[in-house]
Structure 1
Amino acid sequence: MDDNSTVSASPPTSSVAAVILAAGKGTRMKSDLHKVLHPIAGRPMLLHLLASVEALSPERVVVVTGAGREQVEAAVAPLGATTALQAEQLGTGHAVAQAAEALAGFEGAVLILYGDVPLVTTATMRRMLDRLGATDAPATVVLGFRPDDAAAYGRIIADGEGRIAKMVEFKDASPEERAVDLCNSGLMAVKSADLFPLLARVGNDNAAGEYYLPDIVMLAAGDGRASVVIETAAAEVAGVNSRAELAVVEAAWQQARRAQAMADGATLLAPETVWFSHDTRLGRDVVVEPNVFFGPGATIADKVTLRAFSHIEGASVASGAIVGPYARLRPGAVVGEDAHVGNFVEMKKAVLGKGAKANHLTYLGDAEIGAGANIGAGTITCNYDGFGKYLTRIGEGAFIGSNSSLVAPVAIGDGAIVGAGSVITSDVEADALAVARGRQEARPGWAARFRSAMKAKKAAK
């Protein structure tokens, strides 16, 4: 065996594991919801991180839990992640050590991540893994960053090639070391064969009395094995420990998503006012006016116009459609090609067919509206009787007059017309006219006589 026998190539994706630390109490959030489950763009921050990890096709994923572990376990169980309990909060090194049993028998590279640092990209994780597998065989790879304000972050002392001479926690750093602006994000990549033996040697002789994960770097150095740092932007490793920090990370995510939407061919007239969800899908030549909000599950096809102040969640909009202003599309809403959904129209679990229009002040719930139908202002599908919900069907080319109530279950045939102000409780056949309202009665002179009588009555008092 030659002298290079310990040098390994970049590990294949099948030999990657991730340990995600999520044991912190998150007391600064002042919330009954676990810190790592607070959402960014409609998705819990921990699940953002897990989605990025999943793109590596990891062999194992271990989430280290602590306080509030039941919430975290319930969130990650459907994703196939294993959990390990850190019963006492004794530092980051101690937390990672709790994953030893879950990683027993694993041979490969281990990424150490943090559940409250959710924006780390798959690309950055790959860079860490690639550097770990480079020909100089570093003992560990540390992800560093240079914030505008280094504050109380741990510092990394490294040479121009990224070889680490020292890592020190802020509490233990000298004034000279605190003047260094290269900071430790806490994220690391370490081969499994090295990780747990190094952790077993970490002590707690420091200002906080904790077992620090970064100490493995200096332990490896004492063994004659160098570690290296690679850098990323500070925004990518921003942590969340308070509601204010959550808002900052949300804003950074939204800013990046808006830029991506425009790069992909959408027009945002006032980008800073548009709010995306983690899974929003926009086609090309989409125009998004100010103050449009996308909740989870929104899919927008090409050449759609979304007018101002519309709210779209769990809905799909086909090519050429116009939505808003002030429209609300709730889960299950499907807007067909070239259809129009106008001012103060709400759709829920309803399909608006090709070229159909609902332009004003309308609620369409549990409904199927055919192509070319026209729904007049103030129309309501009365879909709920207090116990169950029922379907309304409106045929192609039908016309529903303003201020009509369609009491489900009911069907309006193709080409039928419903007179304004009608309450429809029975099916209407194709091409028929349905009118269901009280008969208008006029009494000439009645109003004048009424006013005279009332004035006389008032004067007599």
Structure 2
Amino acid sequence: MQSDLPKVLHPLAGAPLLIHALQAGGALDPARTVVVTGHGGDLVEKAATAFDDRIACVRQTEQLGTAHAVAQARPALAGFTGDAVVLYGDTPFITPETLERMLDARRSHDVVVLGFHAADPGRYGRLVMDGDSLAEIVEYKDADDATRAIDLCNSGVICADADTLFALIDAVGNANAAGEYYLTDIVGLARARGLTAGVVTCDEAETLGINSRAELAAAEQQFQRSARAAAIADGVTLPAPDTVIFAHDTHIGADALIEPYVVFAPGVTVESGATIRAFSHLEGCHVSRGATVGPYARLRPGAELAEDAKVGNFVEIKSALIDTGAKVSHLTYIGDAHVGAGANIGAGTVTCNYDGYFKHHTEIGAGAFIGSSTMLVAPVTVGAGAMTGSGSVITRDVPPGDLALGRAPQINKTGLAARLMDKLKALKAAKQKD
């Protein structure tokens, strides 16, 4: 990856590659989850436990092969009885449905391997079949020409009873071209012990592994194509789908309209019938039915738009509830606030919520009218039906129904503008002459 960041922490659709694998495995409701780390292990452990603090992390201090890596999980699985599924942190597209099929296949086989028919088998390990059973897995480096002609390839994903898995790993050697302990060798060892091995196949796209930034970019494109197609199939209107960017957890209801060049960062839900106009950026927010966002709006984490709320162009909302039918139409920042139902926020309004150390709350009552360029210095409350005059700095609470003016009185200096312009013109002419 040409990066100081561990490969499995590079983001795909707004989440590290590792998290995609953990989500797929987590859908099986496992009794235990173990992450085996190597390079950058501290960072990987931090990301894994942030995702789920029940995850156990173990360190592979020497990279001696995949069988050796899985063996490091044995202490963390002490006392566990049941099936173990081995996934890879750089393979983000394995689906829970595929893993369920592997668990189903365990009823018939002692070891189950996930395979795929490759359009270009390249350097993948090959799955050599014996009728309906898997005879062996041969790594590309160790394969002859006849074996390399096989297009049924190994994804690396394996399912087996945990005790059986570790017993087979104990017997794995490293007498191969790479001098590594291959997890794939357990298939031949299982057959030699009279155990059975089977194969479950999936689409090649599910097995895509990430080993470079180019492959990461291709994976992002693959994810986005799939997410856009799924949204359209679910009834979302995307006039220019190729311009919309989804996150791994974006949820959009039917009959929502998503205009061009909208970016969804993680944590966004858009309900049915909402409209997200062009060039908006949404993250960690909720947009209710009938609400409108943008164009050129930014919703940050904690933004909550109730039904029929409106957030217009060049508006930023953060940690704030915009209640039913309220309007924040343009050029405004609303943070750490509640805007009541039907309130109108004039252009250029700012909730001054941060004093350099702490955030403070602004409360704007239902039906309030906030004049343009009002500075609301939090903590402050503007009551229901109250108004603020344009250009006001509001530092004290405004009772319901009152009009608040917080600005210096205007003074007109007769003729001063003309005299000042004449003076400046003369100074400029003198400088040009010099």
The reply to whether TM is greater than 0.5 is yes
Structural mapping, 1:272-421, within 5 Å: 272-421=242-391
**What is the match of residue 186 of structure 1?**
156
**Hey, what's the Cα distance between the residues in 2 that align with 1:456 and 1:81?**
76
Residue of structure 1 equivalent to 2:37? 65
Distance in structure 2 (CA, Å) of the matches to 1:66 and 1:356: 52
Q: Percent identity, aligned pairs only?
A: 55
Q: Structure 2 CA distance, aligned partners of 1:456 and 1:227?
A: 95
Rounded Cα–Cα distance in structure 2 between residues aligned with 1:129 and 1:69: 29
- 1:52 corresponds to which residue? 24
* Counterpart in the other structure of 2:120: 149
* Residue type of the alignment partner of 2:32: R
Q: 1:152/1:445 Cα in 2 relative to 1: closer, same or farther (>3 Å)?
A: same
Confirm whether residue 94 of structure 1 aligns to residue 68 of structure 2: yes
1-structure distance, mates of 2:34, 2:416: 82
- Tell me the distance in 2 between the aligned counterparts of 1:250 and 1:411: 45
Three-state SS of the structure 1 residue aligned to 2:183 is coil
Give the secondary structure class of the aligned counterpart of 2:81.
coil
Residue-by-residue CA offset, 1:335-389 (whole Å, 9 max, x unaligned): 1211110000001111112111111100111111111111111111111222222
1:185 deviates by 0.6
Provide the rounded CA distance (Å) in 1 between the counterparts of 2:425 and 2:16.
67
Matches within 5 A, 1:34-53: 34-53=6-25
State the partner residue of 1:437: 407
Structure 2 distance, partners of 1:262, 1:400, is 39
Residue 227 (1) aligns with residue 187 (2): no
Evaluate the alpha carbon distance shift between residue 387 and residue 65 of structure 1 in structure 2; reply closer, same or farther with a 3 A threshold.
closer
TM-score by length of 2: 0.92
Indicate the residue corresponding to 1:83 in structure 2: 57
Instruction: Determine if contact 1:369/1:393 at 8 Å carries over to the other structure.
Output: yes
Partner residue, 1:165: 135
Distance 1:392 1:214 in 2: 61
Letter in 1 for 2:365: G
CA contact (8 A) 2:285 2:299 kept: yes
Secondary structure of residue in 2 paired with 1:277: coil
Amino acid of the structure 2 residue aligned with 1:152: R
| CA contact 2:135–2:187 (8 Å) conserved in 1 | no
Indicate how the Cα distance of structure 1 residues 396 and 218 shifts in structure 2: closer, same or farther if over 3 A, else same: same
**CA RMSD, aligned part only?**
2.1
- The equivalent of 2:394 in structure 1 is 424
Whether the 8 Å contact between 1:139 and 1:217 is mirrored in structure 2 is: no
In the TM superposition, residue 65 of structure 1 has moved relative to its aligned partner by: 2.2
Q: Is the 8 A contact 1:121 1:236 kept in 2?
A: yes
Q: How many residues end up aligned between the 2 structures?
A: 429
Unpaired runs of 5+ in structure 2?
none
Shift of 1:149: 2.2
Q: Secondary structure at the match of 1:247?
A: helix
Determine whether 1:32 maps to 2:1.
no
Match of 2:173 among 183, 189, 203: 203
Q: Is 1:162–1:230's contact at 8 Å kept on the other side of the alignment? A: no
Query: Secondary structure of the equivalent of 2:77?
Result: coil
User: How big is the shift at 1:261?
Assistant: 1.9
Q: Offset of 1:121 from its aligned partner?
A: 1.3
CA distance in structure 1 between the aligned counterparts of 2:101 and 2:342, rounded to whole angstroms: 53
Q: Which moved more, 1:117-126 or 1:37-46?
A: 37-46
How many Å apart are 1:443 and its aligned residue? 4.5
Secondary structure of the equivalent of 1:83? strand
Q: 1:194 to 1:367 in 2, by over 3 A?
A: closer
- What is the deviation of 1:237? 1.1
- Partners of 1:330 and 1:308 in 2: CA distance: 17
SS at match of 2:225: helix
CA 1:447–1:131 in structure 2 vs 1: closer, same or farther (change >3 Å)? same
